[in-house]
Structures are given as C-alpha cells and as structure tokens.
Amino acid sequence: MFGLGKKRTKFGRWLDREGLTQLELEKKANLGRATISKLCNDKNYRPKLSTVAKIKKAIQQLGRSVPPDDYFGM
C-alpha cells in the first residue's frame, strides 16, 4: 500500500502493514522527518535508545501495543 516501491526496513514494512504513515509517526513521536525516513528505508541505520523509546511511546499512543522486536528486529 505505502512505500512507493522503495526497499523498506522491517520497521517500514511494519508501518505499511499497520496502515500508519511516516508523517503520523513523525508528529506523534516528535522526531524529524529524516530520522523517520532512515528508520523506514535505511537498513544500516541503528537508532539511539532514546529514539526507540519515542517510537515505542508514539506507537502505543496510536493504539498499537507490540514489542519493538516486532518492528525493529533487535
């Protein structure tokens, strides 16, 4: 559905499956567009723990309750 044919990370594919947009997550997590884009498209990007915590909190606020392993593969 989303992704526009780009190669996506596990996180990007998870967002797509859940029907969440990068913009929704960007606003809810209070992170920059570049950070969210890296999370969704750069397989070599390793987020800081503070970024992971913000993402987890935002995902919960968006009504999803899943462990980070499901979308980050840590």
Measuring CA to CA, which residue among 20, 32, 8 is closest to residue 61?
A: 20
Q: Does residue 5 lie within any of the structural domains?
A: no
CA 13 – CA 2 distance, rounded (Å):
9
Question: pLDDT tens digits for 7-47?
Answer: 899 999 999 989 999 999 999 999 999 999 999 999 999 99
pTM of the model: 0.80
Q: Does residue 34 lie within any of the structural domains?
A: yes
Whether 3 shows a pLDDT value over 50: the answer reads: no
- Mean pLDDT on 44-59: 92
CA 71 – CA 74 distance, rounded (Å):
9
Q: Does residue 43 lie within any of the structural domains?
A: yes
Domain region containing 30: 10-65
3-state secondary structure labels for all residues of 8-74: CCHHHHHHHHHCCCHHHHHHHHCCCHHHHHHHHHCCCCCCCHHHHHHHHHHHHHCCCCCCCHHHHCC
